[in-house]
């Protein structure tokens, strides 16, 4: 993968050889995330998008405290989806004024914690309003609320659709005016709207279309709001290339589209900041998963590399994290990262299930027991999105390098 260099054929992570990073970590498997790649990604986005558009990090993509701390210093806000994530964000130094809390099924205690922390709650049901009003009274603090809208459209071509049709997320657009009236009655501090239509999209036109529709919908709903819109979160959905043939997302048309929307907002919603929330786009390509070959065997002509890591740490690489068809992530043999392929191998993990696949019939340089197998594009939805306890293998380390 061209975001990483090699030295004498060996992959380099954060300026160090992979074998040195592995020695520092002390054991495999582990995830390593490169600080500079995360910084570069934020800088690229800043350069491509209008300066007035705020960038938020949706930390469920990678909640490692050191990563959240790094991003808290680089972006404009952190989006959390549980009280657990809220704690990590606040501990990392995120400014509560720029933290928002979304997610269906927020428990009463979590809503109360959010009020006490003075963060913005993206409400997803009318019930949450009453709980917030009570917490606000009891704590003597205003409850800051935005309405998460389940739009009447979806983000076309997304890996995961999270809006349009019946959904557990947000409040159906047609029910929002009544909720806005209730916010006014309860005297909650209304701050804006949150629209999130889908994720992992590589088509700029689809993202622009969803942003325009989100803007129009928010503008219509703003007419029923009890006070001016201060935050308009237009969602995200920026994808990264995982598989052969996938092209990078073209940021230029998205930047132009957001500039046009920001221009409109400056007179149609003059108090509103436009917000884009991204998860994998900041961190996905900056991370690798490193595992060691434990056994090499041949079964009826097929070479198997049996590794110490697998789907229990990296569910997505096994194709079981929402994928319809399993495809191979890019992988390399750590000390032969620049060598030509010599053989077709299937790399598997140590679990007693045929689902535990790291790479299927991939052409790679020859690997022996003890060599490192590296999975790229692994900085998002890795460790925290995987069933680590399944089969009782050791937990997985993670490091921030560079
Ligand atoms: C998961 C999620 C994101 C992040 O999605 P990515 O594909 O990682 O960018 C952003 N916003 C909301 C509301 C989410 O649920």
pLDDT by residue (tens digit) across 30-75?
999 999 999 999 999 999 999 999 999 999 999 999 999 999 999 9
| DSSP 3-state of 231 | strand
Measured from the Cβ of residue 119, the count of other Cβ atoms closer than 10 Å reads 24
Residue 276 has pLDDT above 90, yes or no: yes
CA distance 361 to 168: 38
Residues 147-152, mean pLDDT to the nearest whole number: 94
- Rounded to the nearest angstrom, the distance between the alpha carbon of 397 and the centre of ligand 1 is 24
Is 63-278 CATH 3.20.20.10?
yes
Which secondary-structure segment (H or E) carries 353? none
pLDDT band, very low/low/confident/very high, at 105 (cuts 50, 70, 90): very high
Q: List the Cα angle 62/371/392 in 5-degree steps.
A: 55
Residues 160-180, mean pLDDT to the nearest whole number: 89
Residue 164 has pLDDT above 90, yes or no: no
- Rounded to the nearest angstrom, the distance between the alpha carbon of 340 and the centre of ligand 1 is 36
pLDDT band, very low/low/confident/very high, at 160 (cuts 50, 70, 90): low
Q: Parse the chain into domains and list their residue ranges.
A: 6-32+285-401, 63-278
Would residue 165 be called left, alpha or beta, if left means φ above 0 and alpha means ψ between -120 and 50 degrees?
left
- What pLDDT, on a 0 to 100 scale, did the predictor assign at position 278? 98
pLDDT in tens, 302-356: 999 999 999 999 999 999 998 889 999 999 999 999 999 999 999 999 999 999 9
Residue written as token pair 């994998």: 280
Residue of minimum CA distance from atom 4 in ligand 1: 279
- 200 ligand 1 Cβ < 6 A: yes
**Which residue blocks in 176-331 are alpha helix, DSSP H?**
176-186, 204-222, 251-268, 280-283
- What pLDDT, on a 0 to 100 scale, did the predictor assign at position 81? 98
Residue 216 has pLDDT above 90, yes or no: yes
- Rounded to the nearest angstrom, the distance between the alpha carbon of 228 and the centre of ligand 1 is 26
- What pLDDT, on a 0 to 100 scale, did the predictor assign at position 242? 96
Residues 94-121, mean pLDDT to the nearest whole number: 98
Residue of minimum CA distance from atom 2 in ligand 1: 58
Residues 6+ apart with CB under 8 A from 41: 281, 282, 283, 285, 286
Residue 284: burial class (beta carbons within 10 Å; 0-12, 13-18, 19+): buried
Residue 136 has pLDDT above 90, yes or no: yes
Looking at domain 6-32+285-401, what is its CATH homologous superfamily?
Lyase, Ornithine Decarboxylase; Chain A, domain 1 (2.40.37.10)
- 277 ligand 1 Cβ < 6 A: yes
Residues 113-126, mean pLDDT to the nearest whole number: 98
- Report the predicted TM-score, pTM, of the whole model to 2 decimal places: 0.97
Token pair listed for 15: 């300026």
CA distance 150 to 285: 29
Residues 275-303, mean pLDDT to the nearest whole number: 98
Residue written as token pair 């927020």: 106
pLDDT in tens, 390-402: 999 999 999 999 9
Residue of minimum CA distance from atom 7 in ligand 1: 199
Token pair listed for 227: 């006070």
CB of 243 closer than 8 Å to CB of 21: no
- What pLDDT, on a 0 to 100 scale, did the predictor assign at position 153? 77
- What pLDDT, on a 0 to 100 scale, did the predictor assign at position 2? 86
Q: For the CA atoms of the chain, what is the radius of gyration?
A: 22
CA distance 352 to 347: 14
Residue 197 has pLDDT above 90, yes or no: no
Token pair listed for 41: 């990604």
Residue 165 has pLDDT above 90, yes or no: no
Measured from the Cβ of residue 370, the count of other Cβ atoms closer than 10 Å reads 9
CB of 278 closer than 8 Å to CB of 56: yes
Q: Mean of the per-residue pLDDT values for the chain?
A: 96
- 278 ligand 1 Cβ < 6 A: yes
CB of 264 closer than 8 Å to CB of 222: no
Measured from the Cβ of residue 201, the count of other Cβ atoms closer than 10 Å reads 22
Measured from the Cβ of residue 256, the count of other Cβ atoms closer than 10 Å reads 15
Residue 116 has pLDDT above 70, yes or no: yes
Residue 161 has pLDDT above 70, yes or no: no
CA distance 362 to 367: 12
Closest listed residue to residue 58, CA positions, set 312, 232, 320, 275 = 275
Lowest-confidence region among 118-127, 195-204, 329-338: 195-204
How far out from the chain centre does Cα 249 lie?
16
Task: State percent of the chain over pLDDT 90.
Answer: 94
Token pair listed for 65: 């405290």
- 61 ligand 1 Cβ < 6 A: yes
């Amino acid at each position: 993968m061209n975001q990483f260099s090699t030295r004498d054929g060996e992959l380099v992570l954060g300026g160090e050889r992979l074998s040195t990073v592995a020695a520092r970590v002390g054991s495999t498997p582990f995830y390593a995330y490169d600080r500079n790649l995360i910084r570069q990604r934020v800088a690229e986005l800043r350069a491509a998008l209008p300066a007035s558009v705020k960038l938020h990090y949706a930390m469920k993509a990678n909640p490692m405290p050191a990563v959240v701390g790094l991003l808290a210093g680089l972006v404009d806000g952190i989006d959390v989806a549980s009280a657990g994530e809220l704690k990590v964000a606040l501990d990392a130094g995120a400014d509560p004024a720029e933290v928002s809390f979304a997610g269906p099924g927020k428990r009463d205690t979590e809503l109360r914690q959010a009020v006490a922390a003075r963060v913005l709650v993206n409400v997803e049901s009318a019930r949450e309003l009453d709980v917030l009003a009570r917490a606000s009274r009891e704590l003597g603090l205003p409850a800051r609320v935005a309405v998460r809208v389940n739009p009447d459209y979806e983000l076309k071509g997304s890996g995961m659709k999270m809006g349009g049709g019946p959904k557990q997320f947000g409040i159906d657009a047609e029910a929002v005016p009544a909720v806005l009236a209730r916010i006014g009655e309860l005297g909650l501090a209304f701050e804006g709207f949150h629209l999130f239509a889908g994720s992992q999209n590589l088509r700029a036109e689809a993202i622009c279309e969803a942003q325009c529709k989100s803007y129009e919908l928010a503008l219509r709903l703003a007419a029923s709001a009890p006070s001016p819109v201060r935050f308009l979160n237009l969602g995200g959905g920026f994808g990264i290339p995982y598989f052969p043939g996938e092209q990078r997302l073209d940021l230029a048309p998205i930047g132009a589209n957001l500039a046009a929307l920001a221009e409109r907002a400056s007179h149609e919603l003059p108090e509103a900041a436009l917000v884009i929330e991204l998860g994998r786009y900041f961190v996905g390509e900056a991370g690798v998963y490193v595992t060691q070959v434990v056994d090499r065997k041949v079964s009826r002509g097929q070479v198997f590399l049996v590794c110490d890591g697998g789907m229990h740490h990296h569910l997505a690489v096994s194709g079981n994290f929402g994928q319809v068809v399993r495809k191979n992530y890019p992988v390399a043999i750590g000390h032969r990262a620049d060598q030509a392929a010599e053989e077709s191998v299937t790399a598997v993990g140590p679990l007693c299930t045929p689902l535990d696949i790291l790479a299927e019939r991939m052409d790679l340089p020859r690997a022996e027991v003890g060599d490192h197998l590296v999975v790229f594009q692994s900085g998002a939805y890795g460790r925290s999105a995987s069933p680590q306890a399944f089969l009782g293998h050791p937990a997985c380390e993670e490091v921030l390098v560079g």
